[in-house]
């Protein structure tokens, strides 16, 4: 935590800012260790104020004990009349003239209240300042992400070891969530996606009551959250096994798998997200499915499921050692379904280090 605060303070100094107000839950936890979650957008379990020499955590009495225990390097302030009131009473003491805030984590209404309460203080919007610090993972963070991945792979492996024909999407999604929590997960990294047949043509389909039919594609996209860190994995199977799959499934599956392997084998340190994306996209395009691959190849994973770096067709992000991201090409055909295969990798000086242990891929040799 001390190293993270020091790095942030260096950024603030370089931008001539007096401090920063941190309101994104993932960043709040990353910098302080405070684990409380916001229940809905616009609600806040707390906020951090970090200056060159001070660090405050603001919360209410519901989380006071947790804040004092978890945020050991922060001065804990309990709301008397809300964040704006507390900051207004602190600002003169701290001589805040230029205060940064997270543009992606503060409502317009909240900002207006703060500006009204802190007359004479200029609020400077920043985008991704703390998230930028999170992009390269420390060894302990890598271990936490790997543990979250081991957990969800154990759950998904059990599901894929059985024939899912005759089950419903919702039934399988609930099984995955319950099994993950039974193994110690804080919860799912995101709502599980189980999409069978035509439903799989929507990359982020919501599991419903559709009964899975023999031979049709069934797309799984699941993750677990453990000690504040997330995992993310996708597998697609043919209900009843490879021998029950149609020719279209076999062709699409082979193309997606080829694109994934090519990308993992070819991505090198210092490459941009755009360059990495193009490796897999070229394989899919040459197979005649270029217009059926509509999303990015991947995204960073850490305290948030989607974070730096972006690995997509327009991404200038450099892929550097310590970054963890997904490689998940997909093909989606309306009226038929979709195939997505997703692995997690760590960028190293030597290339991609695969984090997954769960195979569950069809042998295409």
Instruction: Give the CATH number, domain containing residue 37.
Output: 3.40.350.10
Domain-located, residue 220:
yes
Distances (CA, A) of 76 to 27, 51, 83: 17, 15, 13
**What is the pLDDT at residue 91?**
81
Domain-located, residue 286:
yes
**Within this chain, do residues 118 and 156 fall inside the same structural domain, yes or no?**
no
- Condensed to tens digits (0 to 9), the pLDDT of residues 243-280 reads 999 999 999 999 999 999 999 999 999 999 999 999 99
Sign of the torsion formed by the C-alpha atoms of 80, 85, 89 and 90? positive
Length of the chain: 365
> Which range of residues forms the domain containing residue 336?
139-354
**Within this chain, do residues 119 and 9 fall inside the same structural domain, yes or no?**
yes
Q: Which of 90, 114, 133 is the last residue of a domain?
A: 133
Domain-located, residue 59:
yes
Determine whether 145 is exposed, middle or buried from the number of CB atoms within 10 Å of its CB (0-12, 13-18, 19+). buried
**Within this chain, do residues 286 and 209 fall inside the same structural domain, yes or no?**
yes
Check pLDDT > 70 for residue 235.
yes
**Within this chain, do residues 168 and 99 fall inside the same structural domain, yes or no?**
no
Domain-located, residue 365:
no
CATH of the domain at 184: 3.90.230.10
- Condensed to tens digits (0 to 9), the pLDDT of residues 275-324 reads 999 999 999 999 999 999 999 999 999 999 999 999 999 999 999 999 99
Q: Tell me how far apart the alpha carbons of residues 118 and 116 are, in angstroms, rounded to a whole number.
A: 6
**Within this chain, do residues 31 and 126 fall inside the same structural domain, yes or no?**
yes
What's the whole-number mean pLDDT along residues 139-145?
A: 96
Percent share of the chain, pLDDT over 90: 82
Domain-located, residue 233:
yes
Domain-located, residue 361:
no
Residue-averaged pLDDT of the chain: 94
Non-local CB neighbours of 64 within 8 Å, separated by 6+ positions: 76, 78
**Within this chain, do residues 124 and 143 fall inside the same structural domain, yes or no?**
no
**Within this chain, do residues 249 and 280 fall inside the same structural domain, yes or no?**
yes
Model confidence band, residue 41 (pLDDT cutoffs 50, 70, 90): low
How many domains are there within the chain? Answer: 2
Query: Quick one: residue 159, left, alpha or beta (phi over 0 = left, psi -120 to 50 = alpha)?
Result: alpha
**Within this chain, do residues 240 and 345 fall inside the same structural domain, yes or no?**
yes
Q: Which of 87, 112, 133 is the last residue of a domain?
A: 133
**Within this chain, do residues 107 and 193 fall inside the same structural domain, yes or no?**
no
């Amino acid at each position: 935590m001390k190293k993270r605060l020091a790095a942030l303070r260096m950024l603030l100094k370089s931008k001539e800012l007096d401090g920063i107000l941190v309101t994104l839950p993932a960043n709040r936890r990353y910098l302080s260790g405070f684990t409380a979650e916001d229940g809905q957008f616009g609600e806040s379990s707390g906020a951090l104020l970090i200056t060159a020499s001070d660090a405050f955590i603001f919360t209410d009495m519901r989380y006071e004990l947790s804040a004092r225990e978890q945020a050991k390097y922060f001065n804990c302030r309990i709301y008397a009349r809300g964040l704006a009131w507390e900051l207004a009473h602190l600002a003169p003491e701290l001589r805040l003239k230029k205060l940064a805030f997270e543009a992606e984590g503060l409502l317009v209404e909240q900002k207006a209240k703060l500006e009204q309460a802190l007359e004479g203080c200029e609020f400077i919007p920043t985008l991704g300042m703390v998230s930028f610090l999170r992009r390269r993972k420390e060894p302990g963070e890598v271990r936490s992400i790997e543990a979250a991945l081991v957990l969800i792979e154990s759950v998904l492996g059990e599901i894929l070891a059985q024939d899912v024909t005759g089950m419903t999407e919702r039934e399988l999604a609930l099984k995955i969530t319950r099994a993950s929590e039974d193994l110690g997960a804080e919860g799912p990294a995101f709502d599980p996606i189980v999409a069978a047949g035509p439903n799989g043509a929507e990359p982020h389909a919501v599991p419903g009551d559709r009964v899975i039919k023999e031979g049709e594609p069934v797309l799984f996209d699941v993750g677990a959250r453990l000690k504040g860190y997330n995992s993310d994995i996708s597998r697609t199977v043919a209900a009843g096994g490879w021998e029950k799959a149609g020719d279209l499934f076999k062709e699409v599956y082979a193309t997606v798998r080829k694109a994934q392997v090519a990308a993992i084998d070819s991505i090198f340190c210092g490459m941009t997200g755009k360059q990495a994306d193009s490796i897999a996209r070229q394989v899919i395009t040459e197979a005649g499915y270029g217009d059926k691959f509509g999303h990015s190849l991947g995204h960073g994973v850490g305290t948030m499921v989607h974070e730096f770096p972006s690995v997509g067709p327009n991404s200038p992000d450099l892929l550097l050692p310590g970054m963890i991201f997904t490689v998940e090409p997909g093909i989606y055909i309306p009226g038929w379904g979709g195939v997505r295969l997703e692995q997690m990798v760590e960028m190293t000086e030597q290339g991609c280090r695969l984090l997954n242990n769960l195979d569950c891929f069809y042998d295409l040799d």
